[in-house]
Structure 1
Amino acid sequence: MINAFTYLDDQLHAERVPARVLAEQYGTPLYIYSRAALTDAYQSYADACIGHRAKIYFAVKANSNLAVLSVFARLGAGFDIVSGGELARVLAAGGKPSDVVFSGVGKSAAEMRSTLDIGGRCFNVESLAELAQLNQVAGESGQIAPISLRVNPDVDAKTHQYISTGLKETKFGIAFDDARAAYRAALDMKYLRITGIDCHIGSQITEISPYLNALEKILELVVQIESDGVLIHHIDVGGGLGIRYDNEIPPDIGTFVKTILDYFDRRGHGHREIWFEPGRSLVGNAGILLTRVEYLKPGAAKNFAIVDAAMNDLVRPAMYDAYHAVDAVMPRNDQPLVTYDIVGPVCESGDWLARDRPLVLEAGDLLAIRSAGAYGFAISSNYNSRPRAAELLVDGDRVHVARRRETLAQLTDGEFALPPDGIK
């Protein structure tokens, strides 16, 4: 994947635009995405799929900005959604209804109905209770719901426990030992049409072997299911391919995709359609978060660089103890390095963005937090009543405002104080 955030003339650029100029014009904290990097990552998947019956569905939860979604829609991607809100975003960004796959453990009847009404491609069903509800909703709507069952293969993805989804201890999927019976139950439901099988084992996975271990079990199950009279047209291998934040060495996208597709060919399943649901690997390193140093606070145990971004803007470090590289936008090379913790203004000890980083800093300096394109703004909040950041999409030397900065007035929009004369 290309690195669209590089140094030219001793200052960081987003493609061909100086990051300093963007910060001055649009303020900080500021998310910046590179169209070239998004496109390059998608094409790595698409090129590796050539010659196979394969489809790429972007996992919208990783980054649901309309500009980002429209880039992928124009490239021909499908979309993996987990809520009615994500469905609305996909449609607003120009995504095709027939390229929408609805995943997630808690789909409401209303969400099922709206997805049926627009002609969604498939529901990834995660429980027997959901099967029954979808059958009822489809029947009441006079429609047939296309489904696959998400099967939990009880395989360790070797990743953080919060983003490991393929173990039997998690809330996701139908237990492997119960899956065959669940397919037989679905076969007897009048308003459901079985089209495939789904498996997703986690996120930020940096080895291919967990995928192959899971697929070995899934293919054994497919043979059993089809012996019961169920036809499996597609196999959804999920997403979860990791990126490099620090010193990880994940497989490159092309190697990953080709290894998976070759595995299906060798096992005699190359005739099926194969679906990939990448999220982080498409957007993670295509985005940065710019923040400005407010204060430097030296201490006996720690030196702190207090910046204007906080855990409400990027929660991954606080939530996952996640590492993000931090670079000065305009590096200073005339002073000794000092080790800082990069922290925000939120009233929590957990409000940190990076720890123990050697930098040369002064108040007012700009910092770029790398690899912020996935699960950055998408999980941001208004904690401490802080407006959410602006988002930009850079395309060469052009800049598109993908989201305006939230205003203080918007923070209380839809809220109402008690009237002076009490509640009536």
Structure 2
Amino acid sequence: MAAPLPVAPDSADPNFADLIAARPGLSMHAQDGLVMEEVPLSRIAREVGTPTWVYSAGTLRRRYRALKAALDGAGLNASVHYATKANDNQAVLRVLAAEGAGADIVSVGELRATMAAGIAASRTVFSGVGKKAEEIRFALGQGIFQINAESVEEIAMISAIAAEMGVLAPVALRVNPDVDAKTHAKITTGKAENKFGIAFEDAAPLYARMAALPGIRPIGIATHIGSQITEGVAAFHAAYARLAEMIRGFRASGLPVERVDCGGGLGIPYRDEVAPPPEALAGAIKATLGGLGLPVMLEPGRWIAGPAGVLLASIVLQKQGSNRRFLVADAAMNDLIRPAMYEAWHGIVPLDPVRFADDAMPADIVGPVCESGDTFARGRAMPLMAPGDFIAFLDAGAYGAVMSSTYNARPLAAEVLVDGNRFAVVRPRQMPEDLLAHQRLPDWLAP
């Protein structure tokens, strides 16, 4: 094998040991290699195959409890509604349901998933800008806890459907506070140019109109300013302060407000970011909304599920290009699309303890999909790898499997749950024949 040409790695990247030390659910053992809770990940890779998503039940529980403890410690009357879009696997939902989590959903499919996992509709918030009439009707029929309305048109639709059904729809008005969360442009949601919510200046008259409509019970204000917010809690503080100002105005006008939906967005450290702890977010809520005497709601997704998952992959081959070394994995952008879509950084570590300790040299880590964008990392420090060696993409528990596709006719990866010293396949690997099973030929093309 030709020696790799010397391309300097990004010296700012944390090394393997630092990455694992910062993730309590993972540890490196001298014999077993990378271990999640008490299960060697190489065992899962060998028995289940790759690529495979693996989730830690212990990490899900620990992070949910840490967030709830921070809210309770701040003296807030707060409920946590897990953002199902981050990871909708039934096993993940069941673990969180057992912890007492409610749900935040953006489709009837997610509502059906959360109900199947044991989270009642009466503990579920229905968000999203494009709810269909049949989705609203189904949610109301199931006794949905709250619908977050995002437009004048949607409010009119909810009113008509609820009146027809003879029920009162519990509706919160999602307000766009025009606050820059300083996150990636594709996941910011609280600026004036974003598609989400009602403009701040339009909210008060619309809330008053909503209160007069048949079939609607106005219950409060909701907001969500973006995802993966790591630059402190100043943006949260600014958004919640604007909500508090609005709520005081509503009360002065005699309008009812039962609760405040603070959304989600608290970020996690994928690389070596200093992400704010949940105690800082709880402090921002208390400082701005605590004096109103209202229950508050949080809708975390990534913060709970992201660090709880990894994506296991195998090295197909190591290719030496003219001026770069490539590690070609059997996972691809159709499995984990975040690097291609958001330029996202994920820690990538070998499972083998010898590879983990070997000298590392720059490599581009890529997948087999026929797109140049199928690249997970460039110039990443990695040891020499052989075909069949296993690697893990860290912090892949959120916006991983749920964003997967079958592009290039690649079947969906398996999903596994680890709980202590046990593991189980919680979604079997899709088989190649499954890709054709639901296709139909019209009569004139049939053989």
Work out whether 1:321 is the aligned partner of 2:343: yes
Answer yes or no: is the 8 Å Cα contact 2:30–2:353 preserved in 1. no
SS at structure 1 position matched to 2:204: helix
| Aligned residue number for residue 196 of structure 1 | 220
- Shift of the alpha carbon at 1:254? 2.9
Listed one character per residue, the Cα deviations across residues 375-395 of structure 1 (whole Å, up to 9, x for unaligned) are 000100111111111111100
User: Measured at CA, do residues 399 and 137 of structure 1 come closer, stay the same or move farther in structure 2, by a change above 3 Å?
Assistant: same
Work out whether 1:108 is the aligned partner of 2:128: no
**AA matched with 1:27:** G
For residues 16-415 of structure 1, what are the structure 2 equivalents within 5 Å? 16-50=38-72, 51-206=75-230, 207-265=232-290, 268-269=291-292, 271-332=293-354, 336-360=359-383, 361-415=385-439
Answer yes or no: is the 8 Å Cα contact 2:233–2:280 preserved in 1. no
Listed one character per residue, the Cα deviations across residues 233-271 of structure 1 (whole Å, up to 9, x for unaligned) are 111110000000002101112332244224423xx21x1
User: Measured at CA, do residues 6 and 336 of structure 1 come closer, stay the same or move farther in structure 2, by a change above 3 Å?
Assistant: closer
Answer yes or no: is the 8 Å Cα contact 2:315–2:386 preserved in 1. yes
- Shift of the alpha carbon at 1:331? 3.8
- Shift of the alpha carbon at 1:332? 3.3
Structure 2: 5+ residue stretches without partners: 1-21
Answer yes or no: is the 8 Å Cα contact 2:28–2:353 preserved in 1. no
4+ residue segments displaced more than 3 Å: 331-336
**AA matched with 2:195:** K
**Cα-Cα RMSD:** 1.4
TM-score, length of structure 1 as denominator length: 0.96
Work out whether 1:3 is the aligned partner of 2:24: yes
**AA matched with 1:6:** S
What is the rounded CA distance, in whole Å, between the counterparts of 1:286 and 1:251 in structure 2?
Answer: 18
| Segment drifting more, 404-413 vs 253-262 | 253-262
TM-score, length of structure 2 as denominator length: 0.91
User: Measured at CA, do residues 192 and 311 of structure 1 come closer, stay the same or move farther in structure 2, by a change above 3 Å?
Assistant: same
Answer yes or no: is the 8 Å Cα contact 1:2–1:40 preserved in 2. no
User: Measured at CA, do residues 145 and 316 of structure 1 come closer, stay the same or move farther in structure 2, by a change above 3 Å?
Assistant: same
What is the rounded CA distance, in whole Å, between the counterparts of 2:28 and 2:141 in structure 1?
Answer: 49
Listed one character per residue, the Cα deviations across residues 21-42 of structure 1 (whole Å, up to 9, x for unaligned) are 0001100001000011000000
Listed one character per residue, the Cα deviations across residues 208-233 of structure 1 (whole Å, up to 9, x for unaligned) are 00000111111111112222321111
What is the rounded CA distance, in whole Å, between the counterparts of 2:284 and 2:201 in structure 1?
Answer: 27
Answer yes or no: is the 8 Å Cα contact 1:226–1:232 preserved in 2. yes
SS at structure 2 position matched to 1:394: strand
User: Measured at CA, do residues 224 and 20 of structure 1 come closer, stay the same or move farther in structure 2, by a change above 3 Å?
Assistant: same
**AA matched with 2:118:** G
SS at structure 2 position matched to 1:304: strand
- Shift of the alpha carbon at 1:173? 0.3
User: Measured at CA, do residues 413 and 15 of structure 1 come closer, stay the same or move farther in structure 2, by a change above 3 Å?
Assistant: same
Structure 1: 5+ residue stretches without partners: none
What is the rounded CA distance, in whole Å, between the counterparts of 2:421 and 2:188 in structure 1?
Answer: 39
